[in-house]
Amino acid sequence: MASHHHHELTGHSLRNAAQRVMEERSEQWTPMRAAIFDALAGQDKPASAYDIADAVSTARGKRVAPNSVYRILDLFVASNLAIRVESANAYIANAHPGCMHDCIFLVCTDCGKAIHVDDDRLTRAVRDRAGDAGFVARRPIIEVQGQCHACAQA
């Protein structure tokens, strides 16, 4: 498998990298954006805007509207801080926000976990095939439905 490797960021280093990306894009890193990013990064599986709104509301002690969360998640996706898992209508934090690449998700239909893997050869083939059809692929995201190792063993 032709893959590339990253140092997966977590915790404060992930948050600092996300803030740096936003500031490089001349975007403000507001307390609300930070809270939403922290809530998203703290999830162990893809989270919906409603999940994030609930987590931020609990942490802040006041209600946060899901439509506000959607707008910020859209900004995070455009800034490569988050990736949308289409089949789950949910998001995950990008653990390497400085790297723009195509995504492959292995989505467990039992527990909802999404495992992110990279395979540049495969996604390049998808881009090439799209080009052969006269289509310009912006960013292929491939999702494979199945069972994660833990669920398959249960």
Strand 114-117 relative to strand 103-108: parallel, antiparallel, unpaired?
A: antiparallel
Structure confidence at residue 34 (pLDDT): 95
Structure confidence at residue 141 (pLDDT): 84
Structure confidence at residue 67 (pLDDT): 93
Domains of the chain: 11-93 (1.10.10.10), 103-153 (3.30.1490.190)
Q: What would the pLDDT profile of 10-59 be if each residue is shown by its tens digit?
A: 567 889 989 999 999 999 999 999 999 999 999 989 999 999 999 999 99
CB 92 within 8 A of CB 80: no
Angle between helices 49-60 and 31-41 (to 10 degrees): 120
Stretch 99-127: mean pLDDT = 87
Q: What is the DSSP string of 77-110?
A: HHTTSEEEEGGGTEEEE-SSTT----EEEEEETT
Least confident of 65-74, 99-108, 121-130: 99-108
Query: Nearest-CA neighbor of 64 among 97, 38, 27?
Result: 38
- Residue 75 — pLDDT band, cuts 50, 70, 90? very high
Give the CA angle between residues 122, 93, 110 to the nearest 5°: 70
Strand 82-85 relative to strand 114-117: parallel, antiparallel, unpaired?
A: unpaired
